[in-house]
Amino acid sequence: MAAATSTGSALQTYEQVAAASNEVAGLLAKRLKSETQGEVLFSAADKGRYATDASIYQVTPLGVFVPQHAEEVATAMAICRDLKVPIVPRGGGTSQCGQTTGVGLVIDHSKHVRNILNLDISAGTVEVQPGMVLDTLNASLKKHGLWFPVDVSTSAQATLGGMAGNNSCGSRSIAYGNMVHNVLSAKAWLSNGELLDFSQFENSSGRAKQIGEFVKHLAIHHQAELQTRWPKVLRRVAGYNLDIFDNQNVRPYTHDGKVNLSHLLVGSEGTLAMTQSLTLKLSELPTSKVLGVVNFNSFHKAMDSAQHIVKLGNGTLTAVELVDRTMIDLSLKIPAFASTIRTAIIGEPEAILLVEFAGHDKGKLKAELKQLVALMGDMGLPNSVVEMVDDAPQKNLWEVRKAGLNIMMSLKGDGKPVSFIEDCAVPLEHLAEYTDALTQVFQKHGTKGTWYAHASVGTLHVRPILDMRRDGPHKMRAIAEEASVLVRKFKGAYSGEHGDGLCRGEWIEWQFGPALQQAFAQIKQHLDPLNLLSPNRMINPPKMDDTSLMRFGNNYKIIPIQTALDWSAWNVHNDAATEQTTLPGTGQDPAQGLAKAVEMCNNNGTCRKFDAGTMCPSFRVTRDEVHATRGRANTLRLALSGQLQGGLESPEVQEAMDLCVGCKGCKRDCPTGVDMARMKIEVQHHYNEKHGLQLKDTLISNLPRYAHIASQWPGLMNLRNQSPLLAKLAESLTGLSAERSWPKWKKDHFFNGPPVGVSSEEVLKASKPVVLFVDTFNGYFESENAWAAHDVLSAAGYQVHIASRTKQDTPGQHLCCGRTYLASGQVSKAKEHAKALLEVLLPFAQKDIAIVGLEPSCLLTLRDESLVMGLGEMAETVASKAALFEEFLAAENKLGKLDSLKAKLAPAQKPILVHGHCHQKAFGLMPSVTQVIQLIPQAKVDLIESSCCGMAGSFGYEASHLEVSKQMAEANLLPSIRNNKDACVVADGTSCRHQIMDGTKRNAIHVALLLAQHLPK
């Protein structure tokens, strides 16, 4: 049989589309708009955002289509067929090999096409649409004691369609197999529009049967090659699954040996058919798990042991996962992970293996754990196993392991760990030899790699550090060539987990040989004769090191700009072999470090998750790529590198930044620490320079300046709140929503009330000194919080000094951190205010006196933005002593300094429900809030699992943001409060309290007030 698809014809499609893109794109967009209700995204920024995935590649598509429902996928396909435009199916876009990058129309299923279509509990099956995210599915299955067990590390953002596309594999594949072992059927469109049911071959009919017969014939024809060339490992995801008719996998695809045609589509990376729905086999959710952490003093020994460990468990062994020394060291440096990793290690191991047993009988599992201990003893490693029987420590350790790649990716500078040989799979008996040899290959090329992941199945993740702007592509080719020799020597699979895409397409023929490659081409031709579905990927692929397809390709250049904030910490070089970075500011970034900070985003898509943490509220509400941290980072990268006209000041950048609430969720939750809140300040600064300020920004930012005057006229100032007409008028003038009440001005407030606290001279000499920084909001609008903080601190025996201006300053003005200016990008004004504040606070900080604040966003400005506004050492000194009220008290309590306060506090009468301000969460300060509340006898505290409240300073007040703001609040926060009618609600953020009042008519209070309410009157 001859392959009908020739390199020439496929490339023709590719090039034709690229050349004729303007005309074709216009027609395509027009038809999509008129024939569907879906989103038709054809702007340069939209295309740029969808030009990448979690790989090193970038290929700009013709356009992007986000269908409203499944039928619109068929319509879009028909239009593409008419116009001969290739189609690139997409889920979460977390592929590591460039599978979702292509020149045609990208169809994003993740926003709307994501429902459960049919759940059959008794049969243990579920039919889902392709855009459904794995964690969402598993959350809904939990109550039935079921789960879909292909637990990829990206489970919070990977879609089932994408998982099937890549034949994804989870940490527990030794027990459950890969995606291919768990798909029961697929309904899918061929590129000619036919919708077929791909399921059991023996029951198939019509076109599906014909396809089956065709593939069967190929398998028979190539039987000899199939049997000799096919890797005999569990983890082989390259090429098409021709072996469905002649199983070569160590784990047969079906339990009864019958051929299932859906398995032909699994792993085909969207090149054969477009999935409409998948029927999946569910597994029982184990009720018990135990974990043995084996500590090794040699990496080689760890690798060599895996083959023996996998024989344990009598069917209960579910995972053997590696964490190496570098990963352990990196984890120890990350506050969120340090204590967890310490629970797992004995001394200073070179590697640990996480060995999990799961089932329903904890007693039996404990016995298996003892077998592990005994085995390690027999292997000369007595006392090497940390036994984890309780669930909590196990869960925590798995979180560290799951974050493995991300921990590694936090390296600053141009050298980055690059994915291209990171999932080669070798038989376990060769694992030690393979890893030793590959480590030497890395050394030879002046780099190194960190090893982790699936020791149970011989698939270890490793990414050598390469600088893709310089010699990276060249080294990548050389390392890949040498790695492939090792893979062949050990009879492994070159592509064992993350698929082929652009990175490994060319290696398919290397793996299987020309005859099988020819068979694959025939399969492609048979199913997609029009060559519409992701052409030039698995068949006729480009070279992996074609730099014209790379994100940081030959022409990638940063446009020089003068930044307002200091980004020099990112402006560094790193050494690939030692991972040492040069001094801040030495990285030669023409954007002074901003570009390198933006480029920290590696597109892994963690910001598309919906579970715990804060990141990213605007994506959670909209599900739009543009409104995810990743979408923003990509937009900024395009702007800074001249790929977006108008650069940082362009409307496209404004659009991407518009719904960023500056919550800093990404600063903490993004694995590589992309700090979009800070970037937004920088962007707004540049935008203002060009376009000037809007009235609302002037009004809000200057509030600290005019507050002392406004507060003298509360009647007048509050009129707007009482008159709907005035509110409407104000909305039309300022853009601030008439639906929102504005904070209420009071004539009598903290700043003009009776002086409290001790003088600056007294506090400097005091035995228990503390300085209280009262911000604009707590001072003018909610003075009771400031007084409460003073009372609580005094009751605890502290001499409290209220930070205030010296006489020479403008009289009547309080101190301000500059936050309101930062919110609208007015960095120089913010700096003025911050400087005045720092000058006042410095003498106390120099004397080691704590500076305590109430409003998280204000106080934490001292620990964040103040440090990058060019305020020098003064800012560092003050930052080192600045603490939130609750943070200070929690720390003091640990030192046993709050006994007198505790003795005074009356027992709690009500349950207490806490909502954390995003900045509190970003700085990891929520534990201190709950600890401080627990100073109150009998306090029963519950933390609301919420992201941003949606008010976020002035964001929720703006008419254009009102709906999004409410949706953010309704995601979790407000329903939790409504469901806890009797609870006292604590929220330390001014705007959070406002949002809670607006949405539930409940009065939330600051933790300082809560404590004060429990003091004797």
Ligand X SMILES: Cc1cc2nc3c(=O)[nH]c(=O)nc-3n(C[C@H](O)[C@H](O)[C@H](O)COP(=O)(O)OP(=O)(O)OC[C@H]3O[C@@H](n4cnc5c(N)ncnc54)[C@H](O)[C@@H]3O)c2cc1C
Residues forming the site for ligand SF4 (CB under 6 A)? 601-607, 615-618, 629-630, 632-633, 660-666, 670-672, 674, 676-677
The reply to whether 92 sits near ligand X by the rule CB under 6 A is yes
676 binds, among ligand X, ligand SF4, none (CB under 5 to 8 A by kind): ligand SF4
The reply to whether 394 sits near ligand X by the rule CB under 6 A is no
In one letter, which amino acid is 51?
Answer: A
> Cα(19)–Cα(432) distance, rounded to whole angstroms?
49
In whole angstroms, the minimum distance from the beta carbon of 437 to ligand X comes to 24
Alpha helix positions (H), 572-723? 594-598, 617-622, 629-640, 651-658, 665-669, 676-691, 695-701, 703-710, 714-717, 719-722
The reply to whether 505 sits near ligand X by the rule CB under 6 A is no
Q: Which is nearer to ligand SF4, 320 or 683 (CB)?
A: 683
Per CB under 6 A, the list member of 38, 98, 149, 165 interacting with ligand X is 165
498 binds, among ligand SF4, ligand X, none (CB under 5 to 8 A by kind): ligand X
Per CB under 6 A, the list member of 163, 294, 328, 532 interacting with ligand X is 163
Q: Which stretch binds ligand X (CB under 6 A): 156-164, 719-727, 839-847, 954-962?
A: 156-164
Q: Which is nearer to ligand SF4, 619 or 888 (CB)?
A: 619
Q: What is the CA 57 to chain-centroid distance, rounded?
A: 19
Per CB under 6 A, the list member of 47, 49, 90, 627 interacting with ligand X is 90
The reply to whether 67 sits near ligand X by the rule CB under 6 A is no
Question: What x/- string results for residues 354 through 393 when contact with ligand X is judged by CB under 6 A?
Answer: ----------------------------------------
Question: What x/- string results for residues 112 through 141 when contact with ligand X is judged by CB under 6 A?
Answer: ------------------x-----------
Phi first, then psi: what are they for 464, rounded to 5°? Answer: -65, 150
In whole angstroms, the minimum distance from the beta carbon of 652 to ligand SF4 comes to 16
Per CB under 6 A, the list member of 94, 191, 260, 776 interacting with ligand X is 94
CB of 73 within 8 A of CB of 89?
no
In whole angstroms, the minimum distance from the beta carbon of 950 to ligand SF4 comes to 10
Where in 44-63 is the site for ligand X (CB under 6 A)? 53-54
Strand partners, 323: 352, 452
601 binds, among ligand SF4, ligand X, none (CB under 5 to 8 A by kind): ligand SF4
Consecutive H or E run containing 480? helix 472-489
Contacts of 258 (CB under 8 A, 6+ apart): 200, 201, 202
Q: Which DSSP state fits 878?
A: H
Q: Pick from 795, 813, 557, 822: which is nearest to 664 by CA?
A: 822
Q: Which is nearer to ligand SF4, 23 or 611 (CB)?
A: 611
The reply to whether 498 sits near ligand X by the rule CB under 6 A is yes
DSSP string of 362-389, one letter each residue:
HHHHHHHHHHHHHHHHHTT-TT-EEEE-
Alpha helix positions (H), 847-989? 856-859, 872-881, 885-894, 899-904, 918-922, 926-933, 962-970, 973-978
In whole angstroms, the minimum distance from the beta carbon of 150 to ligand X comes to 8
Q: Which is nearer to ligand X, 186 or 925 (CB)?
A: 186
Per CB under 6 A, the list member of 46, 72, 269, 589 interacting with ligand X is 269
69 dihedral zone (left: phi>0; alpha: psi -120 to 50; beta): beta
DSSP string of 75-88, one letter each residue:
HHHHHHHHHT--EE
CB of 877 within 8 A of CB of 862?
no
CB of 302 within 8 A of CB of 393?
no
Q: Which is nearer to ligand X, 67 or 427 (CB)?
A: 67
The reply to whether 109 sits near ligand X by the rule CB under 6 A is yes
In whole angstroms, the minimum distance from the beta carbon of 467 to ligand X comes to 20
In one letter, which amino acid is 541?
Answer: P
958 binds, among ligand SF4, ligand X, none (CB under 5 to 8 A by kind): none
Q: Which is nearer to ligand SF4, 153 or 602 (CB)?
A: 602
58 binds, among ligand X, ligand SF4, none (CB under 5 to 8 A by kind): none
Q: How many CA atoms lie within 13 A of 661 on its CB side?
A: 35
Q: Which DSSP state fits 569?
A: G
CB of 882 within 8 A of CB of 862?
yes
- Give the largest Cα separation in the chain, rounded: 95
270 binds, among ligand SF4, ligand X, none (CB under 5 to 8 A by kind): ligand X
Per CB under 6 A, the list member of 75, 96, 459, 990 interacting with ligand X is 96
3-state SS record for 256-301: CCCCECHHHHCCCCCCCCEEEEEEEECEECCCEEEEEEEEECCHHH
Q: Pick from 284, 312, 320: which is nearest to 456 by CA?
A: 320
618 binds, among ligand X, ligand SF4, none (CB under 5 to 8 A by kind): ligand SF4
C-alpha dihedral (353, 359, 360, 366), degrees to nearest 10: -40
Q: Which residue do the tokens 């409409």 mark?
A: 276
First-to-final CA distance of the chain = 93
The sign one gets for the Cα dihedral 208, 209, 213, 216 is positive
Q: Pick from 412, 462, 404, 447: which is nearest to 601 by CA?
A: 412
In whole angstroms, the minimum distance from the beta carbon of 904 to ligand SF4 comes to 39
Per CB under 6 A, the list member of 61, 63, 93, 542 interacting with ligand X is 93
Q: Which stretch binds ligand X (CB under 6 A): 146-154, 312-320, 612-620, 883-891?
A: 146-154
Q: Pick from 150, 136, 143: which is nearest to 280 by CA?
A: 150
CB of 168 within 8 A of CB of 158?
yes
561 binds, among ligand SF4, ligand X, none (CB under 5 to 8 A by kind): none
Q: Which stretch binds ligand X (CB under 6 A): 214-222, 269-277, 463-471, 648-656?
A: 269-277
Q: Which is nearer to ligand X, 163 or 576 (CB)?
A: 163
786 binds, among ligand SF4, ligand X, none (CB under 5 to 8 A by kind): none
Q: Which is nearer to ligand X, 38 or 953 (CB)?
A: 38
Q: Pick from 165, 142, 117, 141: which is nearest to 277 by CA?
A: 117
The reply to whether 98 sits near ligand X by the rule CB under 6 A is no
In whole angstroms, the minimum distance from the beta carbon of 514 to ligand SF4 comes to 38
Q: Which is nearer to ligand SF4, 676 or 840 (CB)?
A: 676
The reply to whether 158 sits near ligand X by the rule CB under 6 A is yes
Per CB under 6 A, the list member of 52, 159, 522, 866 interacting with ligand X is 159
The 10 Å CB-count burial string (b at 16+, else e) for 515-547 is ebbbbbbbbbbbbbebbbbbbbbbbbbbebbeb
Inter-axis angle of helices 335-342 and 325-333, nearest 10: 130
Q: Which is nearer to ligand SF4, 671 or 916 (CB)?
A: 671
In one letter, which amino acid is 148?
Answer: F
In whole angstroms, the minimum distance from the beta carbon of 165 to ligand X comes to 2
502 binds, among ligand X, ligand SF4, none (CB under 5 to 8 A by kind): none
Per CB under 6 A, the list member of 48, 61, 89, 916 interacting with ligand X is 89
The reply to whether 95 sits near ligand X by the rule CB under 6 A is yes
The reply to whether 617 sits near ligand X by the rule CB under 6 A is no
CB of 11 within 8 A of CB of 540?
yes
The reply to whether 411 sits near ligand X by the rule CB under 6 A is no
In whole angstroms, the minimum distance from the beta carbon of 407 to ligand SF4 comes to 12
Q: Which is nearer to ligand X, 162 or 349 (CB)?
A: 162
C-alpha dihedral (611, 612, 617, 619), degrees to nearest 10: -30
Binding site for ligand X (CB under 6 A): 53-54, 88-96, 99-100, 109, 130, 152-154, 158-159, 161-163, 165-166, 168-170, 269-270, 274-275, 405-406, 497-498, 534, 604
